[in-house]
Amino acid sequence: MKQQSHIALGAIAIFGMIAAQAPAQIPYQVSRSPVQTVHRSIVPHTDKNGRALTEYDPQRSFFPIGMWGVALGYDNSNWNELKQAGFNTAWPWFDDTVDSLNEGTRMDMQVVLMHAALPTAASLKQRSPAQLEHLLGIQYLDEPTFASSSLSDVRGQHQTFVNYRNSIKAEFPDLPVFVTDSYMPPSGFEQVWADFAASGDLTTQDNFTYNTNSLTTLGRTANPIGVPDQISAANSAVRGDKPVWALIGVFDNPQGTNHFITPDQMRVKVYSALIHGATGIHYEMWDSWHARAQGFVGISPNPPLNGYGRRSDEISITPQQAQQSRDLWYAVAAVNDEIRTMTPALLSPTVAPADLSYGVAISNRSAPNSPDFAANPIRTILKRDQNGDYLLLAVNLDNRSMDVTFDFTKELSGVELLFEPSDASPTLLADGKFRYAFSAFDSNVFRIKTVAVPEPASAVLFGCGCGAIGCSVTRLRSPSRR
């Protein structure tokens, strides 16, 4: 199981796109702007076999939705359960390469190999084409920057990782090899944390939640760090050129410090990862005898109170924990469906200011600003769907409600709230604005339509001949309000 100890990191400066402050020369930046701008030119992602892509291709682009900690079919688990909940990727736990790939082939799901299933290049060459067709990538290490208190040991692990990756890439140049890391690095480990992220073909960042009952914000800026800072820093570390995946904890450790988050908190974590540039979403973990024997409770549509009967050390759970597991399972399934629906938009460039820009203003907070809350609790990103409409993804990171006004540079003809049922509806205002009442730990997607302004007949038939960009006669875009 993953290393659970985490060392506090000094606070990072508060507003906008800023460099972390201590120690000097930290090799990544963190954006806390309400308007996120990541991936305005390319969107790094992969196909289903891990081949790198930067533009959305409806025939090839793959948005992995994965479950970490998956038992195999012969363990009385049923991957159909995962597929029905919208998962397309499995990370088998404590199983070998052949069994894992066979299960992926049998169930038509992609597989990330890790732990005992780590292959060599020679062993991969022995796999069948059908098995390799279901291989997405290889996780070589799990949380390396927290695996040792010695910086020299971690640097040694980094070199071992580089050597292993090189050995795989020599025979399988398109296959991703990477590590999963956790939170932000302890002081002094910032460079090696960034090196692990940048040295892989992609990076996965896991994020768990402590003290869920008293949680005031999911936008923490010190360890245990929030998803927004973590994914933003990872994208900076890879210079926006490689995929960043988020691994969201959805498990309970009854004897430890990690406990079930609420469905609303889970949604905010997933959506804040998407907003800050994640192009893959994974969850930890599925409930199984594997999990119970390690002292954990995962998510499941039907978690048994007394375990799965495979080992004597499987823990039992209470009816309340079983209900939490079920609630999270169905909430995750709903989010997975939303991601699948939005995949073309998520894997397409973020809208540029020349097309449409906007501002964010907050009012009527249910609790005053304080260090317990995020300085910028609203985070957003603007995409376009296949119909040409705009999709605004927006989250409230805080456990307090607030009204938010969005002010766009074009007139709006309509705003529609997608997916999540809500008692609130967006209110369309004049001058390109709309307002929405965000509840605590709220996540939403708005479909936005702008007013189409016909081009003057002279622009279509004659033009002015000057060729100047933005000329009032020859422009092609609808004019803005400002």
- Which tokens hold the place of 21? 């402050």
Closest CA to 112 of 168, 66, 47: 66
Per-run averaged pLDDT (10 residues), the chain, 482 residues: 34 33 70 98 98 98 97 78 97 88 95 93 97 98 82 94 98 98 84 96 91 84 90 97 98 90 97 99 95 96 95 96 98 98 98 98 96 96 95 98 98 94 87 97 98 64 40 36 46
According to CATH, the superfamily of the domain at 358-450 is Golgi alpha-mannosidase II (2.60.40.1180)
- Topology agreement, domain 45-347 and domain 358-450: no
Find out whether 368 and 401 touch, Cβ atoms under 8 Å.
Answer: no
Non-local (6+) Cβ contacts of 91 within 8 A are 66, 67, 68, 69, 70, 111, 112, 114, 139, 282
Percentages helix, strand, coil for the chain (3-state, rounded to 5) are 25, 25, 50
State residue 462's pLDDT score: 38
Q: What is the pLDDT of residue 460?
A: 43
Give, as one character, the DSSP assignment of residue 64. -
Distance CA 140, CA 125 (A): 18
**CB of 168 closer than 8 Å to CB of 121:** yes
Q: Which string of DSSP letters, residue by residue, matches 436-463?
A: EEE-TTEEEEEEEEEPP-PPPHHHHHT-
Q: Which CATH class name applies to 45-347?
A: alpha beta
Query: Could you identify the residue written with the tokens 């800026």?
Result: 221
Rounded to the nearest 10°, the torsion over CA 189, 190, 192, 193 is 110
Coil vs helix vs strand at 330: helix
Given this model, what pLDDT does residue 91 score? 96
Strand partners, 417: 446
Cβ-count burial of 162 within 10 angstroms (0-12 exposed, 13-18 middle, 19+ buried)?
middle
Q: CB neighbours of 74 closer than 8 A, spacing ≥ 6?
A: 99
77 to 63, 209, 253, 286: CA distances (angstroms): 24, 27, 21, 10
Residue 223 amino acid letter: N
Sequence-separated (6 or more) residues with CB below 8 Å from residue 159: none
Give CA–CA dist 173/169, Å, rounded: 4
The structure tokens listed for 23 are: 């120690």
Spell out the residues 6+ positions from residue 9 whose beta carbon is closer than 8 angstroms to its own: 183, 184, 185, 186, 187, 222, 223, 225
Residue 363: how many CB atoms within 10 A of its CB? 9
Question: For position 116, what pLDDT does the model report?
Answer: 82
Q: Phi/psi zone of residue 268: left (φ > 0), alpha (ψ -120 to 50 degrees), beta?
A: alpha
419: left (phi over 0), alpha (psi -120 to 50) or beta: left
358 within 8 A of 15, measured Cβ to Cβ: no
Is the distance from CB of 108 to CB of 88 less than 8 angstroms? no
Using alpha carbons, select from 221, 224, 228 the residue that is nearest to residue 208.
224
Give the CA angle between residues 64, 67, 69 to the nearest 5°: 140
The domain spans of the chain are 45-347, 358-450
